[in-house]
Amino acid sequence: MTGAFVIAVDGPAASGKGTIAQRLGAAYGLPVLDTGLLYRAAGVLTKRAGESLDNPDACAAAAATITFDQLSDPALRTREAGELASRVAVHPRVRDALLAFQQTFAGQEGGSVLDGRDIGTVICPDAPAKLYVTARPEIRAERRWKQLAATGEAASLAEVLADIRRRDARDGGRRAAPMRPARDATLLDTSEMTIEQAADAARRIVEAARARWEAS
């Protein structure tokens, strides 16, 4: 048993990974970092500064200023912020600028839970527990559409599905830290699961990983 008990939860947009990460954090008493918020903040700050999202230096400069307090800004939860995030996330310089923030969080004594796209592959390749959470695009679109409606953001289901497909293609197709399961991650397809079932399944995967980690 070496290092902190880090749980890496990766997967595409609206797969359920955020809720699963929160549930795991509550179950194990661990702090949770939604790393998507860092990329969302980088995108929103770049835009607010009037800079181009295609300018890696401007995006990286914005990313370098992010503080923990900024991550609770509701403006980061919008559809637009998700799209801006996916666009700035293609720049290796942005990813480098956010690396120390994420690794410092992950290294906290006692452990941590991080959810994102590259936690198990790049940020915490030695994490003792790794999950890759997926669901069919149509199911993810419906979930995201309901979330957006609850926050008062009007968008059609077809638009949300198009967003999801575009982001999947960009996040999975980029050269820098593309979204993909780590070789040692356990896949969890939540398409046919309720949130409770998905959280229970995730818990069982993490229990098994924790037992292996404690015995090592």
**Between residues 25 and 36, which has the closer beta carbon with respect to ligand DC?**
36
Nearest residue to 131 (alpha-carbon basis) of 216, 190, 202, 35: 202
Give the alpha-carbon dihedral of 50, 86, 69, 35, to 10 degrees.
-160
SS3 for 129? strand
* 29/175 with CB nearer ligand DC: 175
Q: How far is the CB of 173 from ligand DC (least distance, A)?
A: 12
In which residue are the tokens 């398409």 written?
Answer: 191
Pair 7, 131: CB distance under 8 Å: yes
Shortest distance (Å) from residue 89 CB to ligand DC:
3
Nearer to ligand DC, 17 or 30 (CB): 17
Q: In angstroms, what is the minimal distance from the CB of 71 to ligand DC?
A: 11
Q: How far is the CB of 51 from ligand DC (least distance, A)?
A: 18
Question: Taking CB positions, which residue lies at the least distance from ligand DC?
Answer: 36
Cβ distance to ligand DC smaller for residue 99 or 207: 99
The minimum distance between CB 86 and ligand DC, in angstroms, equals 3
Q: What is the 3-state secondary structure (H, E, C) of 66-85?
A: CCHHHHHCHHHHCHHHHHHH
User: How far is the C-alpha of 98 from the C-alpha of 60, rounded, in Å?
Assistant: 9
Nearer to ligand DC, 96 or 214 (CB): 96
> DSSP readout, 145-177?
HHHHHHTT----HHHHHHHHHHHHHHHHH-SSS
Q: Where do contacts with ligand DC occur on this chain (CB under 6 A)?
A: 13, 35-36, 39-40, 82, 85-86, 89, 116-118, 167, 171
